[in-house]
Amino acid sequence: MNVGVYPVTVAMYRHYCSLTSRQMPQVPSFGWFEDHPMVNVNWDNVQDYCAWVKSYYQEKVRLPYDNEWTIIARGGLHPTITPYPWGDAYIDNSTWTSVRSRRFSTVSIARTHNTYLNGYGVLDVSGNVAEWLQDSKDGQKCFVTGSWYSAEQTYGMCQSRAYQIPIFRRDWLGFRLVTIDT
């Protein structure tokens, strides 16, 4: 299994919409920026995107499962359980959230500030956007919390999850794919 270095971007999703004659989701209040994570997509939209990637690129992809995400988030650097991807304490300059400073949008995946590159070379495992996971519980779909909108440190923890109906979408919720070796 290989995980995307960053969440799927607006440019990537726009390419998909263009080739499949689908409409882009509702534009968030802060607008679309090609190098920002894609937002305002529901779980079903993401499943359609995965099916298209599989067909178009001949790659088997899906959302990560909850247990995989915890391993991904920790980046192989912490053999013991730590609450945050980088260790035991919240570090504001390692994430794009609203805990210390109010944020008003997503931010570029190519930035060099308020980000953390973990031991697997994965960015934004805490902050920028919350991310859909493959898991379900009682008809609801799971997502990792911790986004630009998050104002509490606990949302950025490796184990922080929430559940919503599959048609739920927000301007702080995006997704990242894993590629499955066949």
| Single-letter amino acid code for the residue at 23 | Q
pLDDT tens-place string over residues 55-94: 999 999 999 999 898 888 888 765 567 777 777 777 777 7
107 bridge partner residues: none
Of the pLDDT bands very low, low, confident and very high (cuts 50, 70, 90), residue 109 is confident
Nearest to 83 by CA among 138, 168, 158: 158
The yes-or-no verdict on residue 182 having pLDDT over 90 is no
Superfamily of domain 2-179: paralog of FGE (formylglycine-generating enzyme) (3.90.1580.10)
Separation CA 106–CA 179 (nearest Å): 24
Residue 152: both structure tokens together:
């509490």
- The amino acid occupying position 14 is R
Q: How far apart are the first and last CA of the chain?
A: 9
User: What is the identity of the amino acid at 7?
Assistant: P
Neighbouring C-beta atoms of residue 128, cutoff 10 Å: 31
User: What's this model's pTM, rounded to 2 decimal places?
Assistant: 0.89
Which candidate, 96, 97, 104, places its Cα nearest to that of 28?
Answer: 104
Residues 6+ away with beta carbon under 8 Å from 162: 130, 142, 143, 145
With pLDDT > 90 as the criterion, what percentage of the chain qualifies?
53
CB-based contact 28:39 (threshold 8 Å): yes
The alpha carbon of residue 139 and the mean position of all alpha carbons in its chain are separated, in whole angstroms, by 21
| SS3 at position 163 | strand
| Average pLDDT of the segment spanning 125-144 | 91
